[in-house]
Amino acid sequence: MTPAVALPAPRRLTDLLSSGAPVRAKRSREAMDQPRTDEDQPLVARAQAGDAAAFDDLVVKYSPRLYGLIYNMTSNHEDTDDMLQDVFAKAYKAIKGFRGKSSFYTWIHTIAVNMTLNFLKKRGRRYHLSLDDVDASIQNDKEFIELTSTTSPVREADLGELQRRLNEAMMKLSDEHRAVVTMFHIQGMPHAEISKILGVSEGTVRSRLFYANRQLQNYLDEFRKNPVG
């Protein structure tokens, strides 16, 4: 088995909840919708031929992205560490059977998402969002400037309420909806890529995103209208 690698810090909750999210999401989609070439093919071919160093290069390349994906689905560092090792262990065993019908990028993400969804079903519904995961764009929103500019009991109470409501909103999402939110808003994947990874239609991806975004935004809008209490 390939040696373990140092794991990066998780990605933060993105600005899907902030007022500027639609513009940023559109730009991300436009960039990601460009045809993807499988630049990993040489490394994959070497790994399939038994070159452990080539597989290690793939591990190093994809660890940051997959860590962010798994962490934002599990919201637990220890679970993420374990899951990431399991994902690469499975990929290492299965890589000789990889035929290139999709890019390696899609293949490894499919393994990660499916294994994480299976893990979440066994683990049950447990989610906790730290204030450290609240994206800076939310805190820089004009309605939050006064709240975040000074330390006060009111500020602490409001940030605590924001955390509670975001936790509640995410808890109401199914694992599948959370996966789509993570891939689209945090990973910046286009609908077509998510469709391939999940094995569902692009229409299903859009439907899940619409439902999840509306639910999360409703919780934040409610907080903005009445931040205290």
Q: Which of 62-76, 79-93, 131-145 has the highest mean pLDDT?
A: 79-93
Residue with more model confidence, 14 or 224: 224
Q: What is the pLDDT of residues 146-202, one digit of tens each?
A: 444 444 555 555 666 666 666 667 667 888 998 998 899 878 899 999 999 999 999
Strands (E), the chain: none
pLDDT at 13: 39
Whether residue 92 is predicted with pLDDT greater than 90 in this model: the reply is yes
Residue 99, phi then psi, degrees to nearest 5: -105, 0
pLDDT at 71: 87
Among 2-16, 105-119, 176-190, name the one with the lowest average pLDDT.
2-16
Sign of CA dihedral 55, 198, 18, 32: positive
Q: What is the pLDDT of residues 190-225, one digit of tens each?
A: 999 999 999 999 999 999 999 988 888 887 776 666
pLDDT at 194: 95
pLDDT at 205: 95
Q: Which among 39, 179, 197, 26 is positioned nearest to 111, based on CA atoms?
A: 197
Residue with tokens 């509640």: 168
pTM of the model as a whole: 0.67
Residue 101, phi then psi, degrees to nearest 5: -70, -25
The average confidence (pLDDT) of the chain is 75
CA–CA dist 118, 114 (Å, integer): 6
* CA distance between the termini of the chain: 52
CA–CA dist 63, 20 (Å, integer): 29
Residue 14, phi then psi, degrees to nearest 5: -80, -175
Q: What is the pLDDT of residues 35-56, one digit of tens each?
A: 456 789 999 999 999 999 999 9
- What is the Cα 3 distance to its own chain's centre? 24
Helix (H, G, I), strand (E, B) or coil at 209: helix
